Amino acid sequence: MKFTDDFSVAGGETVIGAGRDAIRRAVMRVWQKAADFYDLGSLPLPEIDFGLRGRCAAQACWRMPVRRESRKAPQLRLRFNLQAYAAHPAEMLNETVPHEIAHLIVVLRWGPRCRPHGAEWRSVMQECFSLEPQRTHSLPLKPSRTLPRDFVYACTCRKHYLTRIRHGRIERGQSVYRCRNCGDILRRSD
């Protein structure tokens, strides 16, 4: 199941707009394929959000009705990183979209208590989408922001550079951090 969308843009159409349209088309195709494969009837498409940034390529989100006997439909949502799509369109359409939709299919078929990348999810990836199940993507994405590590702490084996957030937690007594190498508690070093 390969999706190819020409990523070259003509005229006044923007790359971002083309990315949104390509992802929407892929979601519709993959969603329909899964609904047909598992005989789920006519399911409404999940809400699609393009606000994801950083190293995460996409996310599947859901909210189930509070009561089991409720007739409310679950709220399903897919979030996509358009910067990841711009850098790697084929991988996003052919691997990431089915990966995230498989999470939603698992929730609809087996319930929200299944493990995120458990046997049910792997079976959806293999049987329905004919894809090798991989927990994480291998796209070389950069973090959306990097925090400065201005605070120097030390243990018995080396120095550690912590962010303002971790430093604040130590100062307030909320956290204690240990070196992964020697197991010693980190102490402020000036």
| Bridge partner list, 185 | 178
CA–CA distance, 86 with 79 (Å, rounded to integer): 15
Catalytic residue among 47, 69, 100, 120: 100
Strands (E), 22-108: 47-49, 58-63, 75-80
Report CA-CA distances (Å) from 13 to 16, 19, 178.
9, 10, 52
Q: How is residue 156 annotated by DSSP?
A: S
Q: By the 8 A CB rule, do 136 and 150 touch? A: no
What amino acid occupies position 38? Y
100 is catalytic: yes
- The pair of structure tokens assigned to 34 is 């899964």
How many residues would you count in the chain? 190
User: Which tokens is 51 given?
Assistant: 């606000």
Q: Which residue numbers are catalytic?
A: 100
